[in-house]
Each structure stands twice: as C-alpha cells, then as structure tokens.
Homo-oligomer: A and B are copies of this chain.
Amino acid sequence: MANDRRVDEPAGSAAASSRDRLIAAAQQLYWEQGVSSTTPRQVMQVSGVGQGSLYHHFPAKHELAQAAIAVTVADALATAEGELTSGSPARERLIQYLTRPRDALAGCRVGRLTYEQYVIDDDALNEPVRQYFRRLIALVQDVFAELPGMDEGGSRRRAYAAVALIQGGYVLSRALDEPAALDSAVSGFVDVLNGDAGLP
C-alpha cells in the first residue's frame, strides 16, 4: 500500500544496510522466539527500519524468513568450517568443534528450526536447514576419516554421532534449564572418544 511506504531512504549502501538490519533482526527474533511467532512489527522495532523499507525489501514474511535463514546457515557453516579445516591435527580439530563455547540455553540457531511447524511445512525454508546438516556432517566425517584405520562407514557414523550430540546437548540444556548440560554431554563424548581404542 502506497501510504505505508516511506521514501526517506537513500538508495545504495544505506538501502543495503536497511536490508542487512532487517535480516539481522529477523535472525535474532527467530532464535529467541521462532519464525512463526515473529511479527513484522517486531522486526521493525528490533531493526529500527520502517515499514516502507521492510515491505520494499521483503514484500512477504516468507521472503524475509528465507533470507534470514540463509544467512544464519552460512554463518554457522563458516564457523564450523574454520574449526574443522584448520591446520591442526584431526583429533584437535574435532575437540575444537565439539567444545566450542555455545549459548546452550538459547538453543542452536539452525537446529531449533527443525521443530517449527512453520518451517517444516515449507520446502524453501527447510532446504537450507537440510543443506546445513548435510554439509556439517560431511565436514566432520572428513576429519574422522583422517584418523588412521578409520573406514568410511566408521567415520560417517561417528560424524552423525558428533553432530547429533551437540544438537541433543542443546535440547538437554533447554529442558533442564541447565547451561552446563551441553558441556557435560560434550565432555562425556570426548571422554569416550579419548578412550576409543579404534582412534590413535
């Protein structure tokens, strides 16, 4: 609607920055309260961007959700990739990925999307989440595969276990309202990995 549009926004970098602020606000709100509960009004409040600009960049809520989830997934993968493909020995890289400090009570920014009906029912929102986990498991599997004597099935199964462990640690921390639950789960897994006679 024309009377909802604000035209007080310059084109170019300032416009790009409104778009980025809208995405950053959506990411934050999705993390805190989920996609379906997030209203355009909240996105405007958190971003400080006006309604005209919101509807200019994202005519529908779905388009904002797609853009915000894409950025969340890209950021999360970049972090994991940095840890898992660094120059350190394979075992250290695994430990670094597993023990990275995480905001356990807030939940995984990507993982929590898998429990949202709004996301589950929407292939365009689901697909980046699926790609995230596929890529993350592949990255972790490549590191396990570097360990001597590890066959493909073994590295694949251990990668699923490692990625599942982090996701489940978030679930436990949230369920118990206990930030340390994720740490305990990670430490238990690292204990077992350290004792694993199949690993060097």
Q: If the complex has contacts A161-B189, A171-B167, are A176 and B133 also in contact, measured as CB distance less than 8 A? A: yes
Q: If the complex has contacts A184-B157, A191-B154, A196-B192, are A114 and B174 also in contact, measured as CB distance less than 8 A? A: yes
Report the copy number of this chain in the oligomer.
2
Q: How far is the CB of A130 from chain B (nearest CB, A)?
A: 6
Q: How far is the CB of A190 from chain B (nearest CB, A)?
A: 9
Instruction: Name the contact of A161 in the complex, choosing from B33, B37, B165, B198 (C-beta under 8 A).
Output: B165
Q: If the complex has contacts A191-B158, A197-B195, are A130 and B163 also in contact, measured as CB distance less than 8 A? A: no
Q: How far is the CB of A197 from chain B (nearest CB, A)?
A: 4
* A interface residues, Cβ below 8 angstroms from B: 33-34, 37, 107, 110-117, 120, 126, 129-130, 132-134, 137, 154, 156-172, 174-177, 181-182, 184-189, 191-193, 195-199
